[in-house]
Structure 1
Amino acid sequence: MYACLSKYLRTVLLLVISALLVVACNRIDLAYRNLDMLVPWSLNDYLSMNRQQKTWLNERLKQQLAWHCRTQLPGYLTWIDEIQAMVASNAITDQQLQVRTEEARQAIAKVADQITPSAAELLRSMDDEQVREMREAFADDIRERQAKYVNTPLARQIERRAERMEKRLSTWLGELSPQQRLRVMTWSQGLGEQNRQWIANRAHWQAQFSAAMEQRHSDSFEPRLEILLKKRESLWTPEYRIAFQRTEQEARRLLVDVMAQSSEQQRQHLEQKLAQVRQSFSELKCLKG
Protein backbone atom coordinates (compact mmCIF):
# COMPACT_ATOMS: atom_id res chain seq x y z
CA MET A 1 0.00 0.00 0.00
CA TYR A 2 2.69 2.50 1.05
CA ALA A 3 4.79 1.80 -2.06
CA CYS A 4 1.80 2.46 -4.32
CA LEU A 5 0.97 5.68 -2.49
CA SER A 6 4.49 7.07 -2.52
CA LYS A 7 4.61 6.45 -6.27
CA TYR A 8 1.26 8.13 -6.73
CA LEU A 9 2.43 11.72 -6.32
CA ARG A 10 5.10 11.28 -8.94
CA THR A 11 2.54 9.72 -11.24
CA VAL A 12 0.31 12.76 -10.82
CA LEU A 13 3.09 15.25 -11.45
CA LEU A 14 4.72 13.45 -14.34
CA LEU A 15 1.63 11.71 -15.68
CA VAL A 16 2.54 10.81 -19.26
CA ILE A 17 6.29 11.18 -18.82
CA SER A 18 6.21 9.17 -15.62
CA ALA A 19 4.62 6.33 -17.50
CA LEU A 20 8.28 5.72 -18.22
CA LEU A 21 9.04 5.51 -14.52
CA VAL A 22 6.09 4.42 -12.35
CA VAL A 23 2.73 2.68 -12.52
CA ALA A 24 -0.30 4.69 -11.52
CA CYS A 25 -2.55 3.59 -8.68
CA ASN A 26 -6.03 2.66 -9.81
CA ARG A 27 -8.02 4.66 -7.23
CA ILE A 28 -6.79 8.23 -7.37
CA ASP A 29 -9.25 9.56 -4.80
CA LEU A 30 -8.44 6.80 -2.29
CA ALA A 31 -4.71 7.18 -2.83
CA TYR A 32 -4.86 10.93 -2.35
CA ARG A 33 -6.83 10.73 0.89
CA ASN A 34 -4.36 8.23 2.30
CA LEU A 35 -1.14 9.66 0.92
CA ASP A 36 1.51 8.86 3.52
CA MET A 37 4.00 11.59 2.64
CA LEU A 38 4.07 14.41 0.08
CA VAL A 39 7.72 13.89 -0.78
CA PRO A 40 9.56 11.76 -3.38
CA TRP A 41 10.43 9.22 -0.70
CA SER A 42 8.42 7.52 2.04
CA LEU A 43 9.41 7.95 5.68
CA ASN A 44 7.46 4.84 6.51
CA ASP A 45 9.79 2.72 4.38
CA TYR A 46 12.83 3.54 6.51
CA LEU A 47 11.73 4.88 9.88
CA SER A 48 10.03 2.98 12.68
CA MET A 49 7.85 5.58 14.40
CA ASN A 50 6.39 5.32 17.88
CA ARG A 51 2.73 6.02 18.65
CA GLN A 52 3.30 9.66 19.56
CA GLN A 53 5.26 10.31 16.36
CA LYS A 54 2.61 8.61 14.22
CA THR A 55 -0.14 10.68 15.82
CA TRP A 56 1.83 13.87 15.27
CA LEU A 57 2.51 12.91 11.64
CA ASN A 58 -1.11 12.08 10.92
CA GLU A 59 -2.25 15.47 12.19
CA ARG A 60 0.44 17.32 10.28
CA LEU A 61 -0.38 15.38 7.11
CA LYS A 62 -4.00 16.52 7.32
CA GLN A 63 -2.75 20.10 7.23
CA GLN A 64 -0.34 19.39 4.38
CA LEU A 65 -2.98 17.61 2.33
CA ALA A 66 -5.43 20.47 2.82
CA TRP A 67 -2.75 22.93 1.65
CA HIS A 68 -1.85 20.71 -1.29
CA CYS A 69 -5.42 20.26 -2.46
CA ARG A 70 -6.29 23.94 -2.06
CA THR A 71 -3.19 25.44 -3.65
CA GLN A 72 -1.56 22.81 -5.88
CA LEU A 73 -4.25 20.61 -7.41
CA PRO A 74 -5.85 23.39 -9.50
CA GLY A 75 -2.52 23.75 -11.28
CA TYR A 76 -2.39 20.01 -11.91
CA LEU A 77 -5.74 20.21 -13.69
CA THR A 78 -4.32 22.83 -16.02
CA TRP A 79 -1.23 20.66 -16.52
CA ILE A 80 -3.38 17.68 -17.46
CA ASP A 81 -5.31 19.87 -19.90
CA GLU A 82 -2.04 20.74 -21.61
CA ILE A 83 -1.08 17.07 -21.86
CA GLN A 84 -4.51 16.26 -23.29
CA ALA A 85 -4.05 18.97 -25.93
CA MET A 86 -0.69 17.50 -26.89
CA VAL A 87 -2.22 14.07 -27.34
CA ALA A 88 -5.28 15.35 -29.19
CA SER A 89 -3.09 17.17 -31.71
CA ASN A 90 -0.90 14.07 -32.14
CA ALA A 91 2.15 16.31 -32.11
CA ILE A 92 4.20 15.33 -29.06
CA THR A 93 7.71 16.73 -29.44
CA ASP A 94 10.90 16.63 -27.41
CA GLN A 95 10.59 20.36 -26.73
CA GLN A 96 7.04 20.00 -25.40
CA LEU A 97 8.10 17.16 -23.12
CA GLN A 98 10.98 19.23 -21.76
CA VAL A 99 8.53 22.00 -20.86
CA ARG A 100 6.11 19.60 -19.17
CA THR A 101 8.98 17.94 -17.30
CA GLU A 102 10.26 21.27 -15.97
CA GLU A 103 6.74 22.17 -14.84
CA ALA A 104 6.58 18.85 -12.99
CA ARG A 105 9.92 19.54 -11.31
CA GLN A 106 8.68 22.92 -10.14
CA ALA A 107 5.54 21.31 -8.71
CA ILE A 108 7.62 18.77 -6.79
CA ALA A 109 9.89 21.56 -5.51
CA LYS A 110 6.90 23.46 -4.11
CA VAL A 111 5.80 20.39 -2.20
CA ALA A 112 9.31 19.73 -0.88
CA ASP A 113 9.57 23.35 0.23
CA GLN A 114 6.26 23.12 2.08
CA ILE A 115 6.97 19.91 3.99
CA THR A 116 10.65 20.38 4.87
CA PRO A 117 9.99 22.15 8.22
CA SER A 118 7.60 19.37 9.27
CA ALA A 119 10.08 16.72 8.17
CA ALA A 120 12.82 18.39 10.20
CA GLU A 121 10.62 18.50 13.30
CA LEU A 122 9.74 14.83 12.99
CA LEU A 123 13.29 13.71 12.27
CA ARG A 124 14.63 15.65 15.25
CA SER A 125 12.33 13.59 17.48
CA MET A 126 13.97 10.32 16.43
CA ASP A 127 16.05 8.62 19.10
CA ASP A 128 19.38 6.87 18.52
CA GLU A 129 17.77 3.44 18.17
CA GLN A 130 15.41 4.69 15.48
CA VAL A 131 18.32 6.25 13.59
CA ARG A 132 20.23 2.97 13.82
CA GLU A 133 17.22 1.12 12.41
CA MET A 134 17.01 3.67 9.62
CA ARG A 135 20.63 3.04 8.65
CA GLU A 136 19.97 -0.71 8.61
CA ALA A 137 16.89 -0.16 6.43
CA PHE A 138 18.99 1.91 4.02
CA ALA A 139 21.57 -0.87 3.82
CA ASP A 140 18.87 -3.47 3.18
CA ASP A 141 17.39 -1.25 0.49
CA ILE A 142 20.70 -1.04 -1.38
CA ARG A 143 21.37 -4.78 -1.05
CA GLU A 144 17.93 -5.62 -2.42
CA ARG A 145 18.29 -3.24 -5.35
CA GLN A 146 21.78 -4.51 -6.11
CA ALA A 147 20.48 -8.07 -6.21
CA LYS A 148 17.47 -7.16 -8.33
CA TYR A 149 18.92 -4.63 -10.76
CA VAL A 150 22.72 -5.10 -10.88
CA ASN A 151 23.82 -8.58 -9.84
CA THR A 152 22.34 -10.19 -12.93
CA PRO A 153 23.79 -10.56 -16.44
CA LEU A 154 23.52 -7.35 -18.46
CA ALA A 155 21.39 -9.05 -21.08
CA ARG A 156 18.86 -9.94 -18.39
CA GLN A 157 18.92 -6.38 -16.98
CA ILE A 158 18.12 -5.06 -20.46
CA GLU A 159 15.31 -7.58 -20.91
CA ARG A 160 13.72 -6.78 -17.56
CA ARG A 161 13.99 -3.03 -18.14
CA ALA A 162 12.22 -3.42 -21.47
CA GLU A 163 9.51 -5.54 -19.83
CA ARG A 164 8.90 -2.92 -17.16
CA MET A 165 8.71 -0.17 -19.75
CA GLU A 166 6.27 -2.12 -21.91
CA LYS A 167 4.04 -2.65 -18.90
CA ARG A 168 4.10 1.03 -17.97
CA LEU A 169 3.42 2.26 -21.47
CA SER A 170 0.65 -0.29 -21.90
CA THR A 171 -1.08 1.18 -18.85
CA TRP A 172 -1.61 4.38 -20.82
CA LEU A 173 -1.71 3.21 -24.44
CA GLY A 174 -3.07 -0.31 -24.31
CA GLU A 175 -1.23 -3.18 -26.03
CA LEU A 176 1.91 -2.07 -27.86
CA SER A 177 2.56 -2.93 -31.49
CA PRO A 178 5.59 -5.03 -32.55
CA GLN A 179 7.21 -1.86 -33.86
CA GLN A 180 6.71 -0.11 -30.52
CA ARG A 181 8.05 -3.09 -28.58
CA LEU A 182 11.13 -3.11 -30.78
CA ARG A 183 11.66 0.58 -30.05
CA VAL A 184 11.38 -0.11 -26.33
CA MET A 185 14.00 -2.85 -26.58
CA THR A 186 16.33 -0.54 -28.51
CA TRP A 187 15.87 2.08 -25.79
CA SER A 188 16.67 -0.44 -23.06
CA GLN A 189 19.79 -1.68 -24.84
CA GLY A 190 21.03 1.88 -25.26
CA LEU A 191 20.94 2.51 -21.49
CA GLY A 192 23.39 -0.31 -20.80
CA GLU A 193 24.45 -0.51 -17.17
CA GLN A 194 22.72 2.66 -15.98
CA ASN A 195 21.27 0.66 -13.06
CA ARG A 196 24.71 0.66 -11.46
CA GLN A 197 25.05 4.46 -11.46
CA TRP A 198 21.48 4.87 -10.21
CA ILE A 199 21.96 2.59 -7.19
CA ALA A 200 25.41 3.99 -6.38
CA ASN A 201 23.93 7.49 -6.33
CA ARG A 202 21.05 6.30 -4.14
CA ALA A 203 23.54 4.87 -1.64
CA HIS A 204 25.48 8.15 -1.78
CA TRP A 205 22.34 10.15 -0.91
CA GLN A 206 21.40 7.77 1.89
CA ALA A 207 24.89 8.07 3.39
CA GLN A 208 24.62 11.86 3.42
CA PHE A 209 21.15 11.68 4.93
CA SER A 210 22.45 9.36 7.67
CA ALA A 211 25.31 11.77 8.38
CA ALA A 212 22.84 14.65 8.64
CA MET A 213 20.75 12.67 11.12
CA GLU A 214 23.76 12.46 13.43
CA GLN A 215 23.56 16.27 13.62
CA ARG A 216 19.76 16.45 13.94
CA HIS A 217 19.89 18.41 17.19
CA SER A 218 22.21 21.10 15.83
CA ASP A 219 21.29 24.38 14.14
CA SER A 220 22.80 23.13 10.89
CA PHE A 221 20.36 20.24 10.55
CA GLU A 222 17.40 21.92 8.84
CA PRO A 223 19.53 23.76 6.24
CA ARG A 224 21.22 20.45 5.46
CA LEU A 225 17.86 18.70 5.24
CA GLU A 226 16.65 21.37 2.82
CA ILE A 227 19.51 20.48 0.49
CA LEU A 228 18.83 16.75 0.85
CA LEU A 229 15.13 17.13 0.04
CA LYS A 230 14.91 20.21 -2.16
CA LYS A 231 18.26 20.26 -3.99
CA ARG A 232 19.03 16.58 -4.36
CA GLU A 233 20.62 17.15 -7.77
CA SER A 234 23.41 19.17 -6.14
CA LEU A 235 24.44 16.03 -4.24
CA TRP A 236 24.50 13.63 -7.18
CA THR A 237 27.68 11.76 -7.99
CA PRO A 238 29.42 12.97 -11.19
CA GLU A 239 28.75 9.59 -12.82
CA TYR A 240 25.06 9.68 -12.06
CA ARG A 241 24.70 13.29 -13.20
CA ILE A 242 25.93 12.28 -16.65
CA ALA A 243 23.83 9.09 -16.65
CA PHE A 244 20.68 10.94 -15.57
CA GLN A 245 20.93 13.56 -18.30
CA ARG A 246 21.38 10.85 -20.89
CA THR A 247 18.60 8.68 -19.44
CA GLU A 248 16.13 11.57 -19.38
CA GLN A 249 16.98 12.50 -22.96
CA GLU A 250 16.56 8.92 -24.14
CA ALA A 251 13.25 8.63 -22.29
CA ARG A 252 11.89 11.66 -24.11
CA ARG A 253 13.07 10.30 -27.43
CA LEU A 254 11.41 6.99 -26.68
CA LEU A 255 8.10 8.61 -25.83
CA VAL A 256 8.18 10.81 -28.92
CA ASP A 257 8.86 7.77 -31.12
CA VAL A 258 6.27 5.55 -29.47
CA MET A 259 3.62 8.23 -29.85
CA ALA A 260 4.61 8.78 -33.47
CA GLN A 261 4.05 5.04 -33.99
CA SER A 262 0.78 5.03 -32.05
CA SER A 263 -2.54 4.03 -33.57
CA GLU A 264 -5.77 5.99 -33.37
CA GLN A 265 -7.04 3.39 -30.90
CA GLN A 266 -4.02 3.85 -28.64
CA ARG A 267 -4.38 7.63 -28.64
CA GLN A 268 -8.05 7.31 -27.77
CA HIS A 269 -7.10 4.97 -24.93
CA LEU A 270 -4.59 7.52 -23.65
CA GLU A 271 -7.10 10.38 -23.89
CA GLN A 272 -9.61 8.31 -21.92
CA LYS A 273 -7.04 7.58 -19.21
CA LEU A 274 -6.15 11.25 -18.96
CA ALA A 275 -9.82 12.20 -18.78
CA GLN A 276 -10.34 9.70 -15.95
CA VAL A 277 -7.42 11.16 -14.02
CA ARG A 278 -8.72 14.69 -14.49
CA GLN A 279 -12.23 13.73 -13.43
CA SER A 280 -10.95 11.97 -10.33
CA PHE A 281 -9.12 15.12 -9.30
CA SER A 282 -11.94 17.50 -10.10
CA GLU A 283 -14.35 15.45 -7.98
CA LEU A 284 -12.22 15.55 -4.82
CA LYS A 285 -14.23 17.12 -2.00
CA CYS A 286 -11.27 19.15 -0.79
CA LEU A 287 -10.92 20.75 -4.21
CA LYS A 288 -14.61 21.57 -4.45
CA GLY A 289 -14.54 23.11 -1.00
Structure 2
Amino acid sequence: MPARLLKVLSICLGFALLLGACSRIDLAYRNLDRLVPWSLGDYLDMNREQKTLLDDRLRQHLAWHCQTQLPGYLDWLDRLRTMVADNQVTDQALQQRTEEAREAIGRVAAEITPSATELLQGMSDAQVAEMRDAFRDDIAQRRKEYVDTPLLSQISERAERMEKRLKPWFGELTEVQKQRVGAWSRALGDQNSEWIRNRAHWQQQLLLAVEQRHEPGFPERVATLLQNKESLWTADYRQAFQNTERQARSLVVDLVQQSNPAQRQVLLERLTKVRSDFSALKCLRGA
Protein backbone atom coordinates (compact mmCIF):
# COMPACT_ATOMS: atom_id res chain seq x y z
CA MET A 1 0.00 0.00 0.00
CA PRO A 2 2.63 2.65 0.91
CA ALA A 3 4.67 1.60 -2.10
CA ARG A 4 1.76 2.49 -4.39
CA LEU A 5 1.24 5.77 -2.56
CA LEU A 6 4.92 6.62 -2.90
CA LYS A 7 4.93 5.65 -6.55
CA VAL A 8 2.00 7.85 -7.47
CA LEU A 9 3.05 10.83 -5.40
CA SER A 10 6.55 10.71 -6.87
CA ILE A 11 5.43 10.19 -10.44
CA CYS A 12 6.40 13.75 -11.32
CA LEU A 13 9.96 13.49 -10.09
CA GLY A 14 12.84 11.89 -11.93
CA PHE A 15 10.25 10.38 -14.21
CA ALA A 16 8.89 13.73 -15.38
CA LEU A 17 9.70 12.74 -18.93
CA LEU A 18 7.43 9.74 -18.68
CA LEU A 19 4.61 11.92 -17.42
CA GLY A 20 5.09 13.99 -20.54
CA ALA A 21 3.63 11.13 -22.51
CA CYS A 22 0.26 11.99 -20.96
CA SER A 23 -1.88 14.21 -23.16
CA ARG A 24 -2.36 16.68 -20.31
CA ILE A 25 0.00 16.73 -17.35
CA ASP A 26 -2.21 19.05 -15.35
CA LEU A 27 -5.17 16.69 -15.73
CA ALA A 28 -3.10 13.71 -14.56
CA TYR A 29 -1.64 15.61 -11.63
CA ARG A 30 -4.93 17.12 -10.45
CA ASN A 31 -6.52 13.67 -10.40
CA LEU A 32 -3.81 11.85 -8.47
CA ASP A 33 -5.93 12.03 -5.34
CA ARG A 34 -8.61 10.06 -7.19
CA LEU A 35 -6.20 7.61 -8.77
CA VAL A 36 -4.41 6.61 -5.57
CA PRO A 37 -7.45 5.06 -3.84
CA TRP A 38 -8.09 2.98 -6.93
CA SER A 39 -4.48 1.78 -6.77
CA LEU A 40 -4.84 0.85 -3.13
CA GLY A 41 -8.04 -0.95 -3.98
CA ASP A 42 -5.94 -3.44 -5.91
CA TYR A 43 -4.57 -4.69 -2.60
CA LEU A 44 -7.32 -4.36 0.00
CA ASP A 45 -10.77 -3.02 0.75
CA MET A 46 -10.58 0.07 2.95
CA ASN A 47 -13.33 0.95 5.37
CA ARG A 48 -14.94 4.39 5.47
CA GLU A 49 -12.63 5.68 8.20
CA GLN A 50 -9.54 4.59 6.30
CA LYS A 51 -10.79 6.14 3.06
CA THR A 52 -11.49 9.42 4.83
CA LEU A 53 -8.02 9.44 6.35
CA LEU A 54 -6.42 8.64 3.02
CA ASP A 55 -8.36 11.35 1.18
CA ASP A 56 -7.44 13.95 3.79
CA ARG A 57 -3.75 13.05 3.80
CA LEU A 58 -3.60 12.91 0.01
CA ARG A 59 -4.93 16.45 -0.27
CA GLN A 60 -2.31 17.64 2.19
CA HIS A 61 0.54 15.77 0.52
CA LEU A 62 -0.40 16.85 -2.98
CA ALA A 63 -0.63 20.49 -1.91
CA TRP A 64 2.81 20.20 -0.28
CA HIS A 65 4.21 18.45 -3.34
CA CYS A 66 2.96 20.99 -5.84
CA GLN A 67 3.85 24.06 -3.82
CA THR A 68 7.27 23.00 -2.53
CA GLN A 69 8.60 20.36 -4.92
CA LEU A 70 7.40 21.16 -8.43
CA PRO A 71 9.38 24.42 -8.72
CA GLY A 72 12.53 22.34 -8.41
CA TYR A 73 11.33 20.02 -11.18
CA LEU A 74 11.06 22.97 -13.54
CA ASP A 75 14.73 23.73 -12.91
CA TRP A 76 15.51 20.03 -13.41
CA LEU A 77 13.75 20.06 -16.78
CA ASP A 78 15.65 23.22 -17.73
CA ARG A 79 18.92 21.44 -17.05
CA LEU A 80 17.82 18.51 -19.20
CA ARG A 81 16.85 20.80 -22.06
CA THR A 82 20.14 22.68 -21.84
CA MET A 83 22.03 19.38 -21.99
CA VAL A 84 20.24 18.49 -25.24
CA ALA A 85 20.51 21.96 -26.77
CA ASP A 86 24.25 22.19 -26.02
CA ASN A 87 24.91 18.58 -27.09
CA GLN A 88 26.14 17.77 -23.59
CA VAL A 89 24.19 14.56 -22.97
CA THR A 90 26.98 12.59 -21.32
CA ASP A 91 27.11 9.72 -18.85
CA GLN A 92 28.37 12.06 -16.13
CA ALA A 93 25.60 14.60 -16.73
CA LEU A 94 22.94 11.89 -16.69
CA GLN A 95 24.32 10.54 -13.43
CA GLN A 96 23.91 14.00 -11.93
CA ARG A 97 20.30 14.28 -13.14
CA THR A 98 19.57 10.78 -11.82
CA GLU A 99 20.97 11.61 -8.39
CA GLU A 100 18.90 14.79 -8.28
CA ALA A 101 15.78 12.78 -9.10
CA ARG A 102 16.68 10.21 -6.44
CA GLU A 103 17.01 12.95 -3.83
CA ALA A 104 13.63 14.38 -4.85
CA ILE A 105 12.00 10.96 -4.50
CA GLY A 106 13.60 10.69 -1.07
CA ARG A 107 11.95 13.93 0.02
CA VAL A 108 8.56 12.61 -1.05
CA ALA A 109 9.17 9.33 0.78
CA ALA A 110 10.04 11.19 3.98
CA GLU A 111 6.93 13.38 3.63
CA ILE A 112 4.46 10.52 3.30
CA THR A 113 6.05 8.08 5.77
CA PRO A 114 4.02 9.24 8.82
CA SER A 115 0.75 8.93 6.89
CA ALA A 116 1.70 5.52 5.53
CA THR A 117 2.63 4.36 9.02
CA GLU A 118 -0.73 5.47 10.41
CA LEU A 119 -2.65 3.79 7.60
CA LEU A 120 -0.76 0.54 8.04
CA GLN A 121 -1.17 0.54 11.80
CA GLY A 122 -4.92 0.86 11.34
CA MET A 123 -5.22 -2.28 9.22
CA SER A 124 -7.24 -5.19 10.52
CA ASP A 125 -6.00 -8.77 10.53
CA ALA A 126 -8.38 -9.50 7.66
CA GLN A 127 -6.87 -6.68 5.63
CA VAL A 128 -3.36 -7.97 6.28
CA ALA A 129 -4.45 -11.38 5.02
CA GLU A 130 -6.03 -9.71 2.00
CA MET A 131 -2.81 -7.86 1.27
CA ARG A 132 -0.83 -11.11 1.54
CA ASP A 133 -3.09 -12.77 -1.03
CA ALA A 134 -2.92 -9.73 -3.31
CA PHE A 135 0.88 -9.68 -3.18
CA ARG A 136 0.98 -13.37 -4.06
CA ASP A 137 -1.30 -12.79 -7.05
CA ASP A 138 0.74 -9.74 -8.09
CA ILE A 139 3.98 -11.73 -8.23
CA ALA A 140 2.32 -14.66 -10.02
CA GLN A 141 0.90 -12.35 -12.67
CA ARG A 142 4.21 -10.56 -13.23
CA ARG A 143 6.09 -13.83 -13.52
CA LYS A 144 3.57 -15.00 -16.08
CA GLU A 145 3.86 -11.77 -18.05
CA TYR A 146 7.59 -11.10 -17.84
CA VAL A 147 9.41 -14.33 -16.95
CA ASP A 148 7.48 -17.40 -18.09
CA THR A 149 8.54 -16.85 -21.68
CA PRO A 150 11.82 -17.75 -23.41
CA LEU A 151 14.61 -15.29 -22.70
CA LEU A 152 14.92 -14.35 -26.37
CA SER A 153 11.24 -13.40 -26.39
CA GLN A 154 11.70 -11.30 -23.25
CA ILE A 155 14.56 -9.45 -24.91
CA SER A 156 12.58 -8.84 -28.09
CA GLU A 157 9.47 -7.65 -26.24
CA ARG A 158 11.55 -5.36 -24.03
CA ALA A 159 13.11 -3.74 -27.09
CA GLU A 160 9.68 -3.25 -28.67
CA ARG A 161 8.35 -1.57 -25.53
CA MET A 162 11.34 0.75 -25.43
CA GLU A 163 10.94 1.74 -29.07
CA LYS A 164 7.32 2.71 -28.36
CA ARG A 165 8.36 4.79 -25.36
CA LEU A 166 11.04 6.57 -27.35
CA LYS A 167 8.90 7.47 -30.34
CA PRO A 168 7.16 10.48 -28.73
CA TRP A 169 10.58 11.88 -27.82
CA PHE A 170 12.56 11.24 -31.01
CA GLY A 171 9.97 10.51 -33.66
CA GLU A 172 10.67 7.50 -35.85
CA LEU A 173 13.91 5.81 -34.87
CA THR A 174 16.51 5.12 -37.53
CA GLU A 175 17.67 1.57 -38.19
CA VAL A 176 20.92 2.33 -36.37
CA GLN A 177 18.97 3.52 -33.34
CA LYS A 178 16.72 0.46 -33.43
CA GLN A 179 19.80 -1.74 -33.44
CA ARG A 180 21.12 0.18 -30.45
CA VAL A 181 17.85 -0.42 -28.57
CA GLY A 182 18.16 -4.11 -29.37
CA ALA A 183 21.71 -4.16 -27.99
CA TRP A 184 20.50 -2.40 -24.83
CA SER A 185 17.80 -5.03 -24.30
CA ARG A 186 20.25 -7.89 -24.79
CA ALA A 187 22.66 -6.32 -22.31
CA LEU A 188 19.98 -6.48 -19.60
CA GLY A 189 19.72 -10.24 -20.03
CA ASP A 190 17.51 -11.94 -17.44
CA GLN A 191 16.84 -8.71 -15.57
CA ASN A 192 13.11 -9.45 -15.37
CA SER A 193 13.67 -12.36 -13.00
CA GLU A 194 15.87 -10.36 -10.63
CA TRP A 195 13.38 -7.47 -10.62
CA ILE A 196 10.45 -9.72 -9.71
CA ARG A 197 12.41 -11.63 -7.07
CA ASN A 198 13.38 -8.37 -5.42
CA ARG A 199 9.81 -7.08 -5.63
CA ALA A 200 8.61 -10.24 -3.86
CA HIS A 201 11.36 -9.81 -1.25
CA TRP A 202 10.28 -6.22 -0.50
CA GLN A 203 6.63 -7.24 -0.25
CA GLN A 204 7.52 -9.97 2.23
CA GLN A 205 9.46 -7.46 4.33
CA LEU A 206 6.41 -5.20 4.35
CA LEU A 207 4.14 -8.05 5.39
CA LEU A 208 6.49 -9.02 8.22
CA ALA A 209 6.46 -5.43 9.44
CA VAL A 210 2.68 -5.11 9.21
CA GLU A 211 2.21 -8.32 11.19
CA GLN A 212 4.03 -6.51 14.02
CA ARG A 213 2.37 -3.13 13.39
CA HIS A 214 1.53 -2.61 17.06
CA GLU A 215 5.11 -3.14 18.24
CA PRO A 216 7.23 -0.11 19.30
CA GLY A 217 9.67 -0.33 16.38
CA PHE A 218 7.05 -0.33 13.65
CA PRO A 219 7.44 3.33 12.52
CA GLU A 220 11.17 2.81 12.04
CA ARG A 221 10.55 -0.31 9.94
CA VAL A 222 8.13 1.56 7.69
CA ALA A 223 10.65 4.39 7.33
CA THR A 224 13.26 1.88 6.17
CA LEU A 225 10.84 0.28 3.71
CA LEU A 226 9.95 3.63 2.15
CA GLN A 227 13.03 5.78 2.59
CA ASN A 228 15.89 3.28 2.50
CA LYS A 229 14.53 0.35 0.53
CA GLU A 230 17.91 -0.15 -1.13
CA SER A 231 19.18 -1.51 2.18
CA LEU A 232 16.70 -4.38 1.77
CA TRP A 233 17.75 -5.28 -1.77
CA THR A 234 19.17 -8.70 -2.44
CA ALA A 235 22.81 -8.77 -3.52
CA ASP A 236 21.85 -10.09 -6.97
CA TYR A 237 19.29 -7.35 -7.51
CA ARG A 238 21.71 -4.66 -6.37
CA GLN A 239 24.11 -5.79 -9.07
CA ALA A 240 21.32 -6.05 -11.65
CA PHE A 241 20.02 -2.57 -10.76
CA GLN A 242 23.44 -1.01 -11.17
CA ASN A 243 23.75 -2.66 -14.56
CA THR A 244 20.27 -1.45 -15.54
CA GLU A 245 21.09 2.16 -14.68
CA ARG A 246 24.43 1.96 -16.47
CA GLN A 247 22.86 0.48 -19.60
CA ALA A 248 20.06 3.06 -19.58
CA ARG A 249 22.49 5.97 -19.43
CA SER A 250 24.58 4.47 -22.20
CA LEU A 251 21.48 4.01 -24.36
CA VAL A 252 20.34 7.62 -23.92
CA VAL A 253 23.81 9.00 -24.67
CA ASP A 254 24.11 6.93 -27.83
CA LEU A 255 20.59 7.68 -29.09
CA VAL A 256 21.12 11.41 -28.73
CA GLN A 257 24.50 11.18 -30.45
CA GLN A 258 22.91 9.17 -33.26
CA SER A 259 19.96 11.53 -33.61
CA ASN A 260 19.51 13.76 -36.63
CA PRO A 261 18.56 17.47 -36.44
CA ALA A 262 14.86 16.71 -36.85
CA GLN A 263 14.90 14.22 -33.97
CA ARG A 264 16.75 16.63 -31.68
CA GLN A 265 14.16 19.27 -32.48
CA VAL A 266 11.38 16.83 -31.55
CA LEU A 267 13.16 16.09 -28.27
CA LEU A 268 13.64 19.78 -27.42
CA GLU A 269 10.03 20.59 -28.24
CA ARG A 270 8.84 17.70 -26.12
CA LEU A 271 10.89 18.83 -23.14
CA THR A 272 9.58 22.36 -23.58
CA LYS A 273 6.00 21.06 -23.66
CA VAL A 274 6.50 19.05 -20.47
CA ARG A 275 7.86 22.10 -18.68
CA SER A 276 5.05 24.27 -19.97
CA ASP A 277 2.42 21.81 -18.73
CA PHE A 278 3.98 21.66 -15.30
CA SER A 279 4.32 25.44 -14.97
CA ALA A 280 0.64 25.84 -15.93
CA LEU A 281 -0.60 23.86 -12.93
CA LYS A 282 -2.99 25.99 -10.87
CA CYS A 283 -1.48 24.92 -7.58
CA LEU A 284 1.95 25.99 -8.78
CA ARG A 285 0.71 29.36 -10.01
CA GLY A 286 -0.99 29.85 -6.67
CA ALA A 287 2.27 29.20 -4.85
Verify same fold: TM over 0.5.
Answer: yes
CA 1:202–1:228 in structure 2 vs 1: closer, same or farther (change >3 Å)?
same
Q: Which runs of 5+ in 1 are unaligned?
A: none
1:141 is matched with which residue?
Answer: 138
* Equivalent of 2:210 in 206, 213, 224: 213
Matches within 5 A, 1:128-277: 128-277=125-274
Give 1:53 shift.
Answer: 1.1
DSSP 3-state at the match of 1:72: helix
TM-score by length of 2: 0.92
Identity across aligned pairs (percent)?
59
CA distance in 1, matches of 2:49, 2:268: 45
- Please point out which of 76, 79, 82 is paired with 2:79: 82
8 Å CA contact 1:14, 1:101 repeated in 2 = no
Confirm or deny: 8 A CA contact 1:7 1:24 kept in the other structure.
no
The 2-side partners of 1:127 and 1:36 are apart by 23
CA separation of 1:275 and 1:98: change in aligned 2, threshold 3 A: same
Sort the Cα spacing of 1:38 and 1:212 in 2 relative to 1 into closer, same or farther, 3 A: farther
**What TM-score, normalized by structure 1, do the two folds share?**
0.92
Please give the per-residue CA displacement for 1:127-149, whole angstroms capped at 9, x wherever unaligned.
11111111111111100110111
- The two structures, once aligned, show a CA RMSD in angstroms of 2.1
CA distance in structure 2 between the partners assigned to 1:181 and 1:69 by the alignment = 37
Aligned to 1:35: 32
Q: CA deviation at 1:11?
A: 5.3
Is 1:91 the equivalent of 2:88? yes
CA distance in 2, matches of 1:221, 1:145: 29
| Cα separation, 1, equivalents of 2:9 and 2:150 | 31
Larger deviation, residues 49-58 vs 87-96: 49-58
Paired with 2:30 and 2:67, the residues of 1 have a C-alpha distance of 14
Counterpart position of 2:275:
278
Alignment partners' CA distance in 2, 1:120 and 1:150:
33
| Structure 2 gaps, min length 5 | none
Residue identity matched to 1:10? I
SS in structure 2 opposite 1:90?
Answer: coil
